[in-house]
């Protein structure tokens, strides 16, 4: 990885490092490959845990389904599956819940669980069968749900109702979003997801825990950074004793600066040897409302996780694990996921190293800033964004056109030392709560090997791998080799 990475090791807290290798297997692969074949492949890869989700799937057409794999706001249309589904590497699909909800748990709530369908009746039982079979083999078994996208079974299906949508400081809905998360402050969304957790603890008592995805405001676009000023957020601010209008005005002022008032002189300090840290501290002292806003989002995310932990414990799952998935630092400053706060309610926290997303996030930000500030120097802007996101180990391309979603055979343009730094930063904040690296299987086998080897070492032999659909037989062998049972 390089000499710069090893020096960060001294900052780790003293804690155990029991080997953990988890693989996310979406139910459609259990349906198409069968329980025995999937589990045999997991054992071959040396997995110690598996996560799936409470739904089943079937092929659909473009009008009635969503693309698999996800298109990621258009940028991910180059993505193809390594393991075909129903004989295809890309297709349109629809889903149904894998279980029949206990309706009384959702009584009086704005959001209700999806009703069982013919597909539920015919194939829903395969999820419970898979969990039982995995446990018999000695694997830990988890269910993964969405934190704020009712009905919460899968990221591409669902979203908030009017009134629960996160808003910008001027009251607008962002014109472009990738994550259809609702407001973390919405009591309706919180109540629904807590009820879902209770329901899953009832329907799948054998699970070891629940993973929650996106318990934050995913900052894929620049506008996402300025969420949330919705009515539920305002009510939460008043409850928490936070002065709403000064916070809103500060966020609105920064938004307007970035969208029309930005000049090259604003960017130059971020290229200084100190990385702009002095400038950041100075600006926060001049605009304390921005600091309040960042703290406010962190409080919302913490309250969300606290409710999830309480719901799981009250449903008889006090011994079951709650494991949120999070963006890596420094994205979490904008997303609201404070690792120290999240650690109070979590068994462990998984940090997403979805490095195929990083170049397009940079491009999304850069294109908006260039459009609203046409006089900006593009090379200067790109260098500032690379520094802000901390995604490169050395010199990086200086043109926005160079930052694209990698195709299946392309290595991910992200520094290994940069990835390791993010894991270490998260662990430093989380204290004694373990941080797991969440690596992504998409990409060529050689690049996957390098990224996984780094993740396994940086997270002290604790990794999740997303997801089985991108793990060819060659990559399953890579996992066994890169994550050996014996430390070395």
Strand partners, 91: 68
Q: What mean pLDDT is predicted for residues 401-408?
A: 94
Dihedrals phi, psi of 470, to nearest 5 degrees: -105, 5
- Please report the pLDDT score of residue 333 as a whole number: 93
- Please report the pLDDT score of residue 17 as a whole number: 64
Query: What percent of the chain clears pLDDT 70, i.e. is strictly above it?
Result: 94
Q: What mean pLDDT is predicted for residues 58-63?
A: 90
- Please report the pLDDT score of residue 179 as a whole number: 87
Q: What mean pLDDT is predicted for residues 135-144?
A: 98
CA distances from 261 to 234, 371, 375, 398 (A): 27, 12, 10, 22
Q: Is the pLDDT assigned to residue 344 strictly greater than 80? A: yes
- Please report the pLDDT score of residue 63 as a whole number: 85
The 10s digit of each residue's pLDDT in 11-55 is: 333 345 689 999 999 999 999 999 999 999 999 999 999 999 999
Mean predicted lDDT score pLDDT of the chain: 92
- Please report the pLDDT score of residue 283 as a whole number: 78
- Please report the pLDDT score of residue 77 as a whole number: 62
Which of 164-173, 242-251, 318-327, 390-399 shows the lowest mean pLDDT across its residues?
A: 390-399
Give 64 or 196, the one with higher predicted confidence. Answer: 196
- Please report the pLDDT score of residue 25 as a whole number: 98
Q: Is the pLDDT assigned to residue 79 strictly greater than 80? A: no
The 10s digit of each residue's pLDDT in 178-199 is: 889 999 999 999 999 999 999 9
The 10s digit of each residue's pLDDT in 82-102 is: 999 999 999 899 999 999 999
The 10s digit of each residue's pLDDT in 202-218 is: 999 999 999 999 999 99
The 10s digit of each residue's pLDDT in 283-342 is: 777 888 999 999 999 999 999 999 999 999 999 999 999 999 999 999 999 999 999 999
| pTM check: above 0.85 | yes
- Please report the pLDDT score of residue 75 as a whole number: 54
Q: What mean pLDDT is predicted for residues 398-411?
A: 94
**263 touches 376 (CB < 8 A):** yes
Q: What mean pLDDT is predicted for residues 59-76?
A: 76
Residue 487 binned pLDDT confidence (cut-offs 50, 70, 90): low
The 10s digit of each residue's pLDDT in 362-390 is: 999 999 999 999 999 999 999 999 999 99
């Amino acid at each position: 990885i390089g000499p710069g990475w090893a020096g960060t090791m001294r900052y780790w807290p003293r804690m155990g490092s029991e080997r953990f290798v988890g693989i996310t297997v979406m139910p459609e692969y259990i349906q198409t490959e069968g329980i025995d074949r999937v589990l045999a492949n997991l054992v071959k890869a040396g997995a110690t845990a598996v996560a799936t989700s409470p739904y089943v799937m079937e092929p659909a057409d473009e009008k009635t389904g969503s693309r698999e794999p996800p298109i990621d706001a258009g940028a991910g249309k180059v993505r193809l599956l390594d393991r075909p589904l129903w004989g295809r590497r890309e297709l349109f699909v629809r889903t149904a819940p894998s279980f029949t909800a206990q309706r009384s748990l959702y009584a009086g709530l704005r959001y209700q669980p999806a009703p069982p369908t013919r597909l539920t009746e015919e194939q829903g039982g395969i999820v419970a069968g898979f969990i039982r079979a995995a446990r018999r083999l000695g694997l830990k078994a988890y269910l993964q749900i969405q934190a704020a996208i009712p009905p919460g079974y899968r990221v591409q299906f669902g979203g908030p109702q009017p009134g629960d949508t996160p808003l910008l400081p001027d009251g607008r809905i962002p014109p472009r979003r990738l994550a259809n998360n609702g407001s973390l402050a919405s009591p309706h969304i919180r109540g629904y997801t807590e009820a879902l957790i209770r329901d899953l603890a009832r329907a799948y008592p054998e699970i070891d825990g629940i993973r929650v995805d996106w318990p934050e405001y995913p900052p894929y676009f620049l506008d996402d950074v300025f969420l949330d000023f919705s009515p539920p957020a305002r009510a939460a601010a008043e409850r928490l004793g936070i002065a709403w209008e000064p916070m809103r005005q500060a966020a609105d002022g920064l938004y307007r600066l970035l969208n029309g008032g930005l000049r090259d002189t604003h960017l130059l300090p971020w290229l200084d040897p100190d990385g702009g840290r002095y400038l950041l501290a100075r600006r926060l002292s001049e605009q304390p409302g921005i600091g309040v806003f960042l703290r406010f989002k962190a409080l919302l995310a913490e309250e969300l996780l606290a409710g999830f932990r309480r719901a799981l414990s009250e449903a008889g799952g006090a011994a079951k694990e709650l494991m949120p998935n999070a963006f890596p630092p420094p994205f979490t400053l904008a997303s609201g996921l404070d690792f120290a706060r999240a650690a109070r309610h979590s068994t462990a926290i998984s940090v997403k190293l979805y490095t195929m997303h990083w170049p397009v996030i940079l491009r999304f930000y850069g294109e908006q800033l260039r459009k609203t500030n046409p006089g900006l120097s593009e090379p200067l802007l790109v260098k500032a964004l690379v520094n802000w996101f901390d995604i490169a180990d050395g010199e990086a391309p200086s043109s926005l056109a160079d930052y694209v979603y990698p195709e299946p055979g392309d290595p991910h343009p992200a520094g290994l030392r940069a990835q390791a730094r993010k894991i270490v930063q998260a662990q430093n904040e989380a204290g004694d709560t373990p941080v797991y690296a969440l690596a992504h299987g998409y990409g060529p086998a050689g690049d996957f090997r390098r990224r996984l080897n780094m993740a396994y070492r940086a997270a002290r032999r604790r990794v999740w791998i997303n997801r089985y659909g991108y793990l060819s037989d060659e990559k399953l062998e890579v996992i066994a080799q890169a994550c050996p049972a014996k430390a070395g």
